[in-house]
Structure 1
Amino acid sequence: MPSDTVTDRTLVHADPLRATTRAIFEAIGFSAGHAELSAHVLVAADLRGVDTHGVSNMLRRYLDWAGSGHLNPKPRPRLLREGPSTAAFDSDAGLGIALLPTMMQTAIEKAGQTGVGMIALHNGRHSGMLAYHAMLALPHDMLGVCATAGGPRVLPTFGREPRLGTNPLAVAIPTAQDPPFVFDASTATVAHNKISTARRLGEPISAGWCAEPDGTPIMEDTPSSRELDSLILPLGATAEMGSHKGYALASIVEVLSSILSGGVFIAKLGPGFSNHFVAAIDVSGFTDPAGFKEEMTDFMDTLRATPPAAGRERVLVPNDREWETERQRCRDGIPLHPEVVGWFDETCRRYGIAPLARA
């Protein structure tokens, strides 16, 4: 959950945060268009309360990758194969947050012609918050899907060595009234960025997130100073709690993103690599869009109307919390940790960029 109640946070509004982030991307060699897209994806995550995938965690990592040559700041994706509804690309080591919005637009165009559009890409880098890419389909009365296979950090059920990424999946579905249905989650018990965030904030790693080096699930809180980043458990944590389901879902994401794109599965490549899959599904190919969206709204309202369990205030549906957080942060500003603000100030000085404006 977003930690807006922490009193030492500095509030920054979205527009100046986007502008400064865009300038930093341009300073490391991104084109103006890719810098703009990348800044939008990162700040969208911060607005929605997905702080693990916003500027605090990811921007400095992208700068490190660009400096080491691991990331290509000026990628030229190469079309490998194309059909009326499909396409496969080599991402040319480009950052997913810069490339996937355009790839989703291509999927949307194909869906408008054939009903479904699907794009798979290999040789990519981090995709950011997947919901951003999936939600691009919503204004077109389409369902959006986005999946990413990342570097191996997750153990197979009963395993002691990582073979899969946290391999998130996002699905966005249009509705007659806001908020739309948007699901975006890792197929592991936790996104890796939450572990690095816990370490930065001095918070523990929660029970069920990681395993001991021998593969035994750790079912109690443990210090985040421990090096458990590549011992993450699949969704479910233990076999008794259904971790084989998370393991299988992560494998499906790997197939869609890596093998279907004509690439190799990520365990052959190692950390820092990503392969992607995006799809758009035109509602009008199946039913009347207006009726579909009305039924979706009724469905979601029925779920919300479920009597809450003891000790709980209400029942939520996917995207309720993020939608509410976005409304609040658009009004009041995005809270940044002092360490993050200090990093921005130092980075702006290094590149000769105007300092980040505070709210």
Structure 2
Amino acid sequence: MSNTRSSNSLHNASRATRPTAARWTQPLPSADFLYCVRWCESRSRSSRRSSRSSRRSANMTRCLISKSEVQGFVERCMTSVGTQPHHARSLAEVLVEGDHRGHYSHGLNRMDMYVKDVQTGICAKDGEPVVEKESAATALVDGKNLLGPVVGNFCMNLAIKKAKEAGIGWVVAHGSNHYGIAGYYAMQALKENMIGMSFTNTSPLVVPTRGKECTLGTNPISVAAPAKDGDSFVLDMATSAVALGKVELHERRGDTIPEGWGCDAQGKLTTNPKEVLSGGGLVPIGGSEATGRNPAEPSLLTCNMWGRKMRFTGDDFSEGLSPSSFRMMRCLASRMLQCLCLCVLLSSGGYKGFGLGMMVEVFCGILAGAQYSKHVRTWKVTDRVANLGQCFVAINPENFAPGFSDRMSDLLSIHRGMEPADSASPVLTAGDPERINMKKCEEMGGIPYHINVINYMNECAKRVGVRPLLPCDKVISN
């Protein structure tokens, strides 16, 4: 009892001797300010729900399947609908490489699309691409509506051949189809110690900045540059925030998508993949502009204003508030900072991705005389040909300044060797995440696929009379 009485006396004495802090002098505007807080809290709850959903998904079963088995499965499915064996092999190699590198949105997940295009006669089963026009360094190719990888391999090989003779090869194609990961073609130039580039337009899936209608494709860009000892820089990116396949994978798994990936039919950001896939669209790199935000959300100006008014440190409040009150105010400041950061995110850079997407249209749809923008068929429509435009470039560094590979290696080393902001997350250059994924696959002895994807592929195989991909080599859990 005496100890308790003594403790209370010390606590009261301590409170009595604390000087009161009068540093918080700005009144809080109840409507706007409290709405900001409630909005931040709702975003936080949504983020926690998304995180829990992601954790549940991560614990779901995955199947480990060898590369050779996946490739054979794709070839069997494609030849069963009449595709020439060597064309089926070209497609299978691209899809497996996509999965091996970790780009599951452009691998086996896409096989059913190719099967349907060939089945319905929208994509040609046989034939070869044709050069319509060429010079020493350029060429225009008619893809003859063949599988995208068949057209892509033909064009990239032609670009490399021209680069050997003229220093650069620039080849564009019309009459093509979806060709898998863009990096597959750019990397072919690495085998000849050349720089490779590849671009393609796609079905309109991206809502431009300030718009609410899809007018551009994901329009990927890939650049591959050789360094010493087999090292390389390999950029392979969509000009949208993500590829559509990633949204489809989340929808197939029953997951929400991160905010900033896509929008609904009204052009508003959403975390529901069904809304993106049903009348909505993807957003360009950088997200949406501030002028396109939901008017009900707090403005960036509001967040900045109250962010300035709420600048304080522990010294400002620790002497004038109880520990619980101080924690509450610190939490409130954290929420306001989250609000500010999110508003900055939403207001930055969408027009840059929009511009890059249009640049790809210049190189592909416009330059090649293919379909472009809204004229490209809608995604998964199988009543008319796609007529995609694609661009393939090979550059021989030997025709420029000497020592290219040495400088390229140094550039990679500068960034990989720098001290990271977080010691647990080293700085990676373009192509490093893919190399890490491939190494993991090799250590495991196969490529891990989500069980839902395998089940879906087996249903596709059943429809075309092909034996299923399962039983697989091994069942694992993440």
TM-score, scaled relative to structure 2: 0.70
Q: Distance between the aligned counterparts of 1:336 and 1:164, measured in 2?
A: 30
Question: Is 1:40 equivalent to 2:93 in the alignment?
Answer: yes
Q: Tell me what 2:283 maps to.
A: 233
Q: Distance between the aligned counterparts of 1:351 and 1:264, measured in 2?
A: 31
Q: Tell me what 1:176 maps to.
A: 228
Q: Tell me what 1:286 maps to.
A: 400
Question: Is 1:342 equivalent to 2:444 in the alignment?
Answer: no
User: Which one of 83, 86, 102 corresponds to residue 49 of structure 1?
Assistant: 102
Which protein has the bigger helix share? 2
Please tell me whether the aligned partners of residues 88 and 262 of structure 1 are also in contact (alpha carbons under 8 angstroms): no
Q: Distance between the aligned counterparts of 1:242 and 1:232, measured in 2?
A: 15
Please tell me whether the aligned partners of residues 201 and 364 of structure 2 are also in contact (alpha carbons under 8 angstroms): yes
Aligned pair in 2 of structure 1 residues 75, 193: CA closer, same or farther (>3 Å)? Answer: farther
Within-5 A mapping of 1:187-198 = 187-198=239-250
Of 17-26 and 226-235, more deviation after overlay is shown by 226-235
Of 143-152 and 349-358, more deviation after overlay is shown by 349-358
Q: Structure 1, residues 12-42: CA drift from partner, whole Å, max 9, x if none?
A: 0111211221122211222121111111000
Q: Any idea what SS the aligned residue of 1:208 has?
A: coil
Q: Which amino acid is the alignment partner of residue 78 of structure 1?
A: V
Of 232-241 and 99-108, more deviation after overlay is shown by 232-241
**Deviation of the 1:313 alpha carbon:** 2.3
Aligned pair in 2 of structure 1 residues 212, 345: CA closer, same or farther (>3 Å)? Answer: closer
Q: Any idea what SS the aligned residue of 1:198 has?
A: helix
**Deviation of the 1:206 alpha carbon:** 1.6
User: Which one of 63, 74, 84 corresponds to residue 21 of structure 1?
Assistant: 74
Please tell me whether the aligned partners of residues 203 and 217 of structure 2 are also in contact (alpha carbons under 8 angstroms): yes
**Deviation of the 1:350 alpha carbon:** 4.7
Q: Any idea what SS the aligned residue of 1:340 has?
A: helix
Q: Structure 1, residues 139-182: CA drift from partner, whole Å, max 9, x if none?
A: 11100100010111112211111111010000011010344110
Q: Structure 1, residues 290-341: CA drift from partner, whole Å, max 9, x if none?
A: x211221121111012221147521111111101111221332111222332
Q: Which amino acid is the alignment partner of residue 161 of structure 1?
A: E
User: Which one of 358, 378, 396 corresponds to residue 271 of structure 1?
Assistant: 378
Q: Tell me what 1:256 maps to.
A: 363
Q: Any idea what SS the aligned residue of 1:136 has?
A: helix
Q: Any idea what SS the aligned residue of 1:9 has?
A: strand
Q: Which amino acid is the alignment partner of residue 342 of structure 1?
A: N
Aligned pair in 2 of structure 1 residues 197, 263: CA closer, same or farther (>3 Å)? Answer: same
Q: Tell me what 2:430 maps to.
A: 318
Aligned pair in 2 of structure 1 residues 262, 349: CA closer, same or farther (>3 Å)? Answer: closer
Q: Any idea what SS the aligned residue of 1:157 has?
A: coil
Please tell me whether the aligned partners of residues 262 and 271 of structure 2 are also in contact (alpha carbons under 8 angstroms): no
Please tell me whether the aligned partners of residues 210 and 228 of structure 1 are also in contact (alpha carbons under 8 angstroms): no
Q: Tell me what 1:138 maps to.
A: 190
Please report the RMSD computed on the Cα atoms of aligned residues, expressed in angstroms: 2.1
Q: Distance between the aligned counterparts of 2:219 and 2:111, measured in 1?
A: 20
User: Which one of 127, 135, 138 corresponds to residue 83 of structure 1?
Assistant: 135
Q: Distance between the aligned counterparts of 1:194 and 1:330, measured in 2?
A: 23
**Deviation of the 1:67 alpha carbon:** 2.1
Q: Distance between the aligned counterparts of 1:69 and 1:234, measured in 2?
A: 32
Question: Is 1:64 equivalent to 2:176 in the alignment?
Answer: no
User: Which one of 413, 416, 419 corresponds to residue 301 of structure 1?
Assistant: 413
Within-5 A mapping of 1:114-133 = 114-133=166-185
Q: Tell me what 1:327 maps to.
A: 439
Aligned pair in 2 of structure 1 residues 295, 98: CA closer, same or farther (>3 Å)? Answer: same
Aligned pair in 2 of structure 1 residues 207, 85: CA closer, same or farther (>3 Å)? Answer: same
Q: Any idea what SS the aligned residue of 1:322 has?
A: helix
Q: Which amino acid is the alignment partner of residue 376 of structure 2?
A: L
Of 258-267 and 125-134, more deviation after overlay is shown by 258-267
Q: Which amino acid is the alignment partner of residue 394 of structure 2?
A: A
Q: Distance between the aligned counterparts of 1:276 and 1:6, measured in 2?
A: 39
Q: Which amino acid is the alignment partner of residue 258 of structure 1?
A: G
Percent of residue pairs bearing the same amino acid type? 30
Q: Distance between the aligned counterparts of 1:27 and 1:107, measured in 2?
A: 32
Q: Which amino acid is the alignment partner of residue 341 of structure 1?
A: I
**Deviation of the 1:102 alpha carbon:** 2.0
**Deviation of the 1:90 alpha carbon:** 2.1
Question: Is 1:245 equivalent to 2:294 in the alignment?
Answer: no
Q: Distance between the aligned counterparts of 1:163 and 1:345, measured in 2?
A: 34
Q: Distance between the aligned counterparts of 2:231 and 2:436, measured in 1?
A: 9
TM-score, scaled relative to structure 1: 0.91
Q: Distance between the aligned counterparts of 2:363 and 2:154, measured in 1?
A: 19
Within-5 A mapping of 1:84-99 = 84-99=136-151
**Deviation of the 1:6 alpha carbon:** 4.5
Q: Any idea what SS the aligned residue of 2:273 has?
A: coil
**Deviation of the 1:83 alpha carbon:** 1.1
Q: Structure 1, residues 68-92: CA drift from partner, whole Å, max 9, x if none?
A: 2222222432322111111112222
**Deviation of the 1:358 alpha carbon:** 2.3
Q: Any idea what SS the aligned residue of 1:225 has?
A: helix
User: Which one of 12, 30, 33 corresponds to residue 83 of structure 2?
Assistant: 30
Within-5 A mapping of 1:183-222 = 183-216=235-268, 218=269, 222=271
Q: Which amino acid is the alignment partner of residue 306 of structure 1?
A: M
**Deviation of the 1:228 alpha carbon:** 4.2
Please tell me whether the aligned partners of residues 179 and 319 of structure 1 are also in contact (alpha carbons under 8 angstroms): no
